[in-house]
Chains A and B, each alone.
Chain A
């Protein structure tokens, strides 16, 4: 009874808060109409050069690394909260810990049905990838990502927008970018924004890195499962002399296997990158075309895209690892 009462009370306040936010959004979009930002494919550096390695080059703190660190911290906090919930001795976990338990249970059942007895080995890789990619993708939905940062002069002459000062914090002026030709533009010129936080999945370094981890670790899992005979999948010389014609074909198939293993890295990396980068460009464009309501629908769409892409990345990792453990044993059984 008391629970219902408090709930209805909260709902009564919440709807006025939401109405206020909608009105604020309309007024804000009238005052400062959103504009299409300067879209840049590589991640931008938010600090000056940190250090230099001789062969590799300069190191910067880029804004996608900031996003990935935020995702890592959120994941660590979640993991610690689940740990303390389990330590507390409750049989049924509640709140966020319960939700994460449910998610992990679904993932583990998936792993068990695909990988069988290797599920316990493969599951940590898959679950880590799913959770990290999920955090990286959903950061896109939080206001302030991609929109708060340093304003500086554009490099190209034709790019950029004029700026206007809205506030001042100590020495630091707070600026906003306004439409070219707006009558209240304080300073004409070509300025662009470098955001502090940029979604990690829109940086190829993040996606290709995860893809490399996934593919390399699937070789390691395969090696653990089958021993050195795992490599005969790629360099198949077993039937080379006993059955000359089919031996050559088997050898060629092994080489193709090698190529497909390499192309997995590209397909993993570009799938996640393409989906999320296209999603964030879609958010920019819709926001600049229809500032008020349309973006909510696109945000919901991006919510599902982020979830599905995280699940697909994890699921494909799981399937490739399971294939690496099982593929060859199956072949031996049929011979």
Chain B
């Protein structure tokens, strides 16, 4: 009886850890969008710089801003994953 109780507790702990890890992994799927966004932004910026090298400075500033905004959503997903792993 005692051993059985112990085993149930072990299973619950294992399921908690399993759920945490799977949840963190699923949360990180959100990074996909950020990656695509950054790729689109910097691809467009490189094309623009190739066509008009004189405007490199302005384009670069705007590119970094755009990347920062695209990255923000990915970072939200990362923060959620970190919260799941280390806080809950």
Contact = CB atoms under 8 A, between A and B. Distances in A.
Interface of A: 39-41, 110, 113-114, 267, 270-271, 273-275, 277-278, 281, 308, 311-312, 315-316, 319
Nearest 8 CB-CB pairings of A with B: A274-B75, A312-B68, A274-B79, A267-B72, A41-B86, A274-B78, A41-B87, A271-B75
25 contacts: A41-B82, A41-B86, A113-B57, A113-B58, A113-B61, A114-B61, A267-B69, A270-B72, A270-B75, A270-B76, A270-B79, A271-B72, A273-B79, A274-B75, A274-B76, A277-B82, A278-B78, A278-B82, A312-B64, A312-B65, A315-B61, A315-B64, A315-B65, A315-B68, A319-B65
Interface in B57-88: 57-58, 61, 64-65, 68-69, 71-72, 75-76, 78-79, 82-83, 85-87
Contacts of A277: 82
A40 B72 CA distance: 22
Given A271-B75, A274-B75, A110 B83 contact: no
A149 B86 CA distance: 20
Interface in B3-38: none
A39 B83 CA distance: 11
B82 A274 contact: yes
B86 A271 contact: no
A284 to B, nearest CB: 12
A319 B69 CA distance: 13
Contacts of B82: 41, 274, 277-278, 281
Contacts of B83: 41
A41 B79 CA distance: 10
Nearest to A309: B68
Select the residue from B65, B72, B76, B85 with max chain A CB neighbours within 10 A: B72
